[in-house]
Structure 1
Amino acid sequence: MACSAHLLSQSLYSSHRASPAAPRNLRSQARPPARASPAASPGSSAGGCRGASLRVAASFEQGRRQVEVSYDPQAKFNQIADQIDKDAGMTRLNLFSPCKINVFLRITGKRPDGFHDLASLFHVISLGDTIKFSLSPSRSRDRLSTNVPGVPVDESNLIIKALNLYRQKTGTDNFFWIHLDKKVPTGAGLGGGSSNAATALWAANQFAGCIASEKDLQEWSGEIGSDIPFFFSRGAAYCTGRGEIVEDIPNPLLENLPLVLIKPPEACSTAEVYKRFRLEQASKADPLTLLKEITQNGISQDVCVNDLEPPAFEVLPSLKRLKKRIIAASRDDYNAVFMSGSGSTIVGIGSPDPPAFVYDDDDYKDVFVSEACFLTRDENEWYREPISSKAAFSKDDLPASVID
């Protein structure tokens, strides 16, 4: 399977494009993105001149000849850097790691293995993390750092599990230094950790020369998490089984349909939510009927069914009050208001703006609020962060924590 040519635009050298606040790059900011040739190795630059390092201008006026010589050191630096990239192959890569929402989530039964069968419309949205991968020169272990304390960075982290899984499946021996810039809150029902794992598998495959297919990555990923295979869809999928059976939806939701995400500081334990779930209390709606209604007529409150809302509201009663307040204050601004996954994020579809009480009421001063939109990807390309994507934590930026 051929490596995607867009990788160049997602390399460390081009990371300033994902956010206006990114540190200034050593390379020329005005320089156009490279186009990879079929012979170019992953992460390398295509052949050809990127910009002249010496400019000569000549003119003739009244019999006199004028010659202007201008030396451009930045262009020369770019040429040298491109040659280094070409010779060394891929050594670093920046990728966007988006999260998801469950537009509807039906729990249809309990399995002999203790898991529950579900039927759900998953959709990727534009809120996400950024993960920077660099090849480790030691080739002995992975090293993970993150900007948010409390995120596990040891062997229990799904990124590390994904990299171990890739090496196990392929026999490759690449190890990495990884920095996770976390924007998706944990315990939110948004699949942030699952997305990180899928992104790590994708990255490892790019460094290895794309020796595994997307289908391989999707199948392998189910061994370490039920939600991970979904992220190898095109961005919208009908998921069944434990969530690992993924069927792409040919007509995804409109990417210009705005969303708002509102999450209280309290998280919902997925295990505790499922422990309180009662199958007899679940919705009787046919999930295929819900899917047909959404794909044909769009989103409405009636189709955004989540069978995990009642047990989640038992675990976290304040979450039920938050949903009710959002609906009461919305004045029909939202097509639907519902909980994603096992909580604790409440999603409003149809407007990017939260109700005023979220900002005005002291009881909600610590909530996480983010606007978002639906997101898809093309085959053999990873997800890209929209330029307008915005997220806001309820507290100031936190210091980085690094584990060697």
Structure 2
Amino acid sequence: MASFSNHLISSFSCSRRSASLPRRGNTPSIFRHGHYSFKSWSEVSGNKYGRILICAAETGRRQVEIVYDPEERFSGLEGEVDDNNKLSRLTLFSPCKINVFLRITGKRNDGFHDLASLFHVISLGDTIKFSLSPLKRKDRLSTNVPGVPVDDRNLIIRALNLYRKKTGTNNFFQIELDKKVPTGAGLGGGSSNAATALWAANQFSRSLVTEKELQDWSGEIGSDIPFFFSNGAAYCTGRGEVVKELPFALPKDLPMVLIKPQEACPTAEVYKRLHLGKTSSVDPLTLLEKISLNGISQDVCINDLEPPAFDVLPSLKKLKQRVLAAGRGQYSAVFMSGSGSTIVGIGSPDPPQLVYDEDEYNDVFITEASFLTRQQNQWYAEPTSSTGSLSREEPSQTGK
């Protein structure tokens, strides 16, 4: 919790029910509560756990009263503070990512592959509610999607275990995961969940460590996790854990559509079928420069994992080809994200009509999305204009 908000909340009389406050844009010059008569109120920005309203009072004995309004949201973060000014509940948005391009540049001695990729956060994401557990023995995770593990196979639990190991803290949590990101999709939903859990654990410990420390630690449990501690747009190398924030981000008003078939692409199997001699020879820094100058086009959205993924799942290749053919002029680029199996169409939020007309696409997951970044020292906020998923069914139940 920010020290500024701690000071304000502990220094004055705080109440969640102390006044019936007007909404923004409908503020009277005078309103009353009890024996206080308030002339005006204003909002203090910078408190990340809610909006704090400073009310100028007529009485000389007391100059201000601070009212916490839990119904409001600041930067998409919802928190609740107990009577001891200790954070007890926190709700966070956990967005996923796409790989605008993904080059595989070599095989490492540790068995992993070196990659070079433009990662970018998008507006599709899960919601995670964290509550302090009164029993300091075990985290308890529940989720809306059957088949998602709720033990230490889940990256959320592994992230919380890592935080306690690194810091010596003993907070345990009850976690509710409202999952909207399909698994086995190449969207990094599990990695985002883990990063969000680390950030949350640090908030409950009053920002005990820096975000850089969280980022460095997170690479121990997943290669994609460190990326989410960037501002949301980064050039990632190594296994993906070497993160260089970009001086530019892609336009937030650039629409896209995600189409994911029910079948997942097992990442291990995709890499097993990868032939380094058949990958692209384009310098990834050249791709990055082209995107920074000219934006996204089909020629820069190279994914070296597409051929092996299409080998694992031939229907995925057919889907990409059909989206390309049906969407000529509709999309500036169509490509697979990560190791699959999500096909991304950039330039329009609408899928081609064939996914509605043909029976073989009855079970695909479809959603519109946009690019997303975050402000420094704040977690990602779900866009208020988000229209949500257009999918015809729940997220995939396979994988983690």
TM-score, length-scaled by structure 1: 0.81
Provide the rounded CA distance (Å) in 1 between the counterparts of 2:98 and 2:68: 46
**Counterpart amino acid of 1:392?**
L
Residue 77 to residue 393, structure 1, CA distance change in 2 (3 Å): closer
- Residue aligning to 2:150: 153
> What is the correspondence of 1:343-382 to structure 2 with a 5 Å cutoff?
343-382=340-379
Counterpart check, 1:94 vs 2:91: yes
Q: Output the CA distance in 1 between the equivalents of 2:133 and 2:313.
A: 43
Q: Does 1:168 align with 2:165?
A: yes
Matched with 1:19 is none
Distance in 2 between residues matched to 1:36 and 1:143, nearest whole Å: 35
Matches within 5 A, 1:320-339: 320-339=317-336
Alpha-carbon RMSD: 3.0
Name the residue aligned to 1:195.
192
Structure 2 CA distance for aligned equivalents of residues 239 and 301 of structure 1: 20
> Does residue 389 of structure 2 align to residue 391 of structure 1?
yes
Paired letter, 2:167: T
2:28 corresponds to which residue?
Answer: none
- Structure 2: distance between partners of 1:218 and 1:161: 15
Counterpart residue number, 2:215? 218
Q: 2:125 is matched with which residue?
A: 128
Partner residue of 2:247? 250
Q: Can you list the C-alpha shifts for 1:201-228, whole angstroms capped at 9, x where unaligned?
A: 0000000000111100100000000000
CA distance in 2, matches of 1:353, 1:50: 50
Alignment of 1:313 onto 2:310: yes
- Tell me the distance in 1 between the aligned counterparts of 2:80 and 2:259: 47
Matches of 1:253 and 1:202, distance apart in 2: 24
Matches within 5 A, 1:10-159: 43=49, 85=82, 87-159=84-156
* Residue 46 of structure 1, CA deviation: 5.0
Give the whole-Å Cα distance in 1 for the aligned partners of 2:102 and 2:42: 42
Which AA in structure 2 matches 1:118?
L
Given that residues 358 and 364 in structure 1 are in contact (C-alpha distance below 8 angstroms), is that contact kept between their aligned partners in structure 2? yes
Paired letter, 2:223? S
Letter in 1 for 2:166: K
- What per-residue deviation string (whole Å, max 9, x for no partner) do you get for residues 85-125 of structure 1? 45342100000000000000000000000000000000000
- CA shift, 1:140, in A, is 1.2
Is the contact between residue 44 and residue 85 of structure 1 (CA under 8 Å) also seen in structure 2? no
| 2:29 corresponds to | none
Mapped to 1, the partners of 2:396 and 2:143 lie a distance apart of: 10
Q: Which moved more, 1:220-229 or 1:390-399?
A: 390-399
Is the CA contact 1:44–1:90 (under 8 Å) kept in the aligned structure 2?
no
Aligned to 1:11: none
What amino acid maps onto 1:328 in structure 2? A
Name the residue aligned to 1:21. Answer: none
SS in 1 for 2:84: helix
Q: Deviations over 1:153-192 (max 9, x none)?
A: 1111000000000001111100000000000000000000
Query: Offset of 1:76 from its aligned partner?
Result: 12
- The C-alpha deviation readout for 1:327-385, integer Å capped at 9, x for no partner, is 00002100000000000000000000000001111110100000000000011010000
Determine the C-alpha separation between the residues in 1 that align with 2:53 and 2:233: 37
- In the other structure, the counterpart of 1:67 is none
Aligned AA (1:270): T
Distance 1:109-1:28 versus aligned 2 partners, 3 A rule = farther
Gaps of 5+ in 1: 6-26, 52-74, 400-404
Aligned to 1:268: 265
Letter in structure 2 aligned against 1:172: T
Is contact 1:126-1:385 (8 Å) kept? yes
Q: Deviations over 1:5-54 (max 9, x none)?
A: 7xxxxxxxxxxxxxxxxxxxxx979656996799x8x8588585699xxx
